[in-house]
Structure 1
Amino acid sequence: MPGHKYITDYPLLIVILVLVAIGIVMVYSASFAIAEEKFDETDYFLKKHVIRACIGLAVMSVLVKIDYRNIRKLSKIGLFCAIVLLVYLLVKRTVTVNGAMRWIDLGLISFQPSELAKFALVFYIADTLDRKQDKLDSFTDGYLPPLIIAAGVAILILVEPDFSSAVIIAIIAFMMLFLGKVRIHHLICTCIAALPIFAMALYSSPYRLKRLLGFLNPGADPLGDNYQINQSLISLGSGGFFGVGIGHSKEKLLYLPEPFTDFIFSILGEEMGFIGTMFILVLFFVILWRGLTIAYRAPDLYGSLLAAGITLSIVIVAFINIGVVCGMLPTTGLPIPFISYGGSSLLLSLGACGVLLNIAKHQKVILIENAKTAK
């Protein structure tokens, strides 16, 4: 096809690159105090994050050139590998953080299988719904197979325990099934059946219950269970409209726990102010807009569902993280995509965006070909 201007969706690409750049700046700003205290090296976390960002961008640049329909052949293999890693995680009981077995230590990064499972499930559901288009009205032949797989993955993640990631996967699977036009009453019945399981998982864990009660009554234990969220709100409030300036946050100086991972948005709000936080929100809304536009214009159902699933996997997590940091949702432990320090989330999110950009490339090419045919 002539014309390099049709290679990709430039607004989406620019937003992704801007978010990654902001993430690099904020990871250094939010982590240098902890890095100096623990490792006597202010750029310890920055160097690791930059390496991961470069690897992720390299993966994205490769995947944007590979036809997404060729990657489709690997959807079942990817999901199988993710499930094997989740089982391995439970059997080996590897890297434990805050009582949760979520990571496998790979040296340069601690890999989180639930992140791989999230995106692998998106590919699998898109593939399954596309292949079973004529059977989606059937509960056993069309609806049940992807439901069983999604439920199985969510349960494996829940056992880690990682309640928030399990809920995210359930939400994404539900929305993809809805977009795939399965019968609405099947979805409603599934939600009703899942409610007791959700309640049991929530109330069976004292840690989760404590988080929920703390969210409902944030002033109850300001120096204990609610310390982190209270410090987060102080950080956001301290930023005012314009912020205190990059590098000048006080909360990151060992006051706010997880200042460069789950709660990096708080430090961003303190240093960049209301304007900075709104700018980040706008960027994620642009991802939502461009991603759903790509899904709408995709050349086939598989591409449409895949684009929607990837987009939702990123923006839902981002909005939940922002909601937690602002005290509107209970603490979850989810990072904000592209900005938080972390290996598996950054690498897989950038890789998934490479696929999304490839779908955009194909839909633009088809629109051009149709216009030429019409002439």
Structure 2
Amino acid sequence: MRKLRIQLFAVTVVLIAIGIIMVYSASAIYAYEYLKDSAYFLKRHLIYLLLGIITSLWIMSVDYDVIKKYIKPVLIMSFILLILVLIPGIGREIAGARRWFRFSIFSFQPSQVLKLALILYIADVLSRKQSEIRSFFHGFLPPMIILGLSVALILLQPDLGTAVAIAAVVYMMLFIAGIRLFHLVPLLVSSLPILGVIILAKPYRMKRILAFLNPWEDPQGIGFQIIQSYIALGSGGFFGVGLGQSRQKLFYLPGAHTDFIFSIIGEELGLIGTASIAILFMIFIWLGVRIAVRSRDLFGHLAALGIVLMIGLEAMINIGVATGSIPTKGLPLPFISYGGSSLIFDIMGVALLLNIAKHSERSRLKT
């Protein structure tokens, strides 16, 4: 397990280092033009990184059984924050979405707290109720009520991408834990028409799907961002135009340092750069799954899998959006995008993986 911990730590450090370089490269000109400080986003990115490291040091210093005691309070706090962020004057509204708290020098997204807290809560409930796992009322219904409340609060922001990602991860955790397919499949099937209604309820979501199917239908409107992403990736070719030499970040591609940073990597570092990022995430997932398989108990197993699934799914969705493989979703590329609170909680997730690996190794040595 020690070797796995070192490898996972190394892969994470490489991804974070790439993120630092690319956040500055993708944002410097934009930041200087509008904020008169080319390092504006870089400095804040480093502050979030430092906060993530400080929090992770505590996570690494205690046995993860101690962390279990804080799961319910943190989950309740995340629900309170998700309610508060919806209140005008408290939550900050950007482009019609109310997802952030804005403070003097940084913003905070409470759904990031919920993601990690919910994964740990579901892992805790499923591990404690293993004898009742196949019961509808005692094994299946309790986690689904919490999931339903979580998804509902996130959809009110609105943030469909995060809601779908959270639901998908929890479904997979339930399946892995042994929940009966007789309970899971009907819920999954019935959720599809509900998802369709949610998409149709907001015209911009339908427009995103149409843009995904044919962005050239409205190249100056809803299809603009994905077309600019295509141009960035296509311009990079195999070797890229060179670090810092992107043209699409010059006010052509919206979200160049956030949701579409993968496109800038493709333009500046080419296919070699994007393939390297994809390989690093595949290695990360592989190492995380190995840690989960070797964990000392069911809680560690499910928590590790949940964290790996969430980070891996977010990476797949972000890359899929940038390459036009799936409709646009507002999810950052883990460890790399300028995302503030997402970076903090991704690092905390890795710290939990390392914690599970460390204490599982110690338990084996004692036996």
Query: Shorter chain as normaliser: what TM range?
Result: over 0.9
1:367 Cα shift?
A: 3.7
Structure 2 gaps, min length 5: none
| 8 Å contact kept, 1:314–1:349 | yes
| 8 Å contact kept, 1:12–1:287 | yes
Write out the 4+ residue segments of structure 1 that deviate beyond 4 Å after TM superposition: none
**So what's the TM-score if we normalise by structure 2?**
0.97
CA deviations on 1:41-90 (whole Å, 9 max, x unpaired) are 11111111112112212222331222111101111111101111111112
| 8 Å contact kept, 1:7–1:361 | no
| 8 Å contact kept, 1:6–1:365 | no
| 8 Å contact kept, 1:8–1:361 | no
Q: Which amino acid aligns with 2:312?
A: V
Helix, strand or coil at the partner of 1:346? helix
Tell me, in whole angstroms, the C-alpha distance in 1 between the residues paired with 2:319 and 2:187: 28
Moved more, 6-15 or 190-199: 6-15
Tell me, in whole angstroms, the C-alpha distance in 2 between the residues paired with 1:357 and 1:285: 17
| 8 Å contact kept, 2:2–2:357 | no
| 8 Å contact kept, 1:222–1:230 | yes
**Aligned pairs (5 A) from 1:230-309:** 230-309=227-306
> Residue 359 of structure 1: which of 345, 356, 361 is its match?
356
Q: Which residue of 1 aligns with 2:64?
A: 68
Moved more, 56-65 or 302-311: 56-65
CA deviations on 1:284-333 (whole Å, 9 max, x unpaired) are 11111011111111000000000000111111001100000000010101
Structure 1 gaps, min length 5: 371-375
**Aligned pairs (5 A) from 1:1-375:** 6=2, 9-92=5-88, 94-370=91-367
| 8 Å contact kept, 2:4–2:291 | no
1:368 Cα shift?
A: 3.8
Helix, strand or coil at the partner of 1:95? strand
Helix, strand or coil at the partner of 1:102? strand
The count of corresponding residues between Structure 1 and Structure 2 is 366
| 8 Å contact kept, 1:231–1:256 | yes
Q: Which amino acid aligns with 1:353?
A: V
Tell me, in whole angstroms, the C-alpha distance in 2 between the residues paired with 1:69 and 1:92: 38
Helix, strand or coil at the partner of 1:101? strand
Q: Which amino acid aligns with 1:49?
A: H
Over the residues paired in the alignment, what is the CA RMSD in angstroms?
A: 1.3
The percentage of aligned residue pairs carrying the same residue is 48
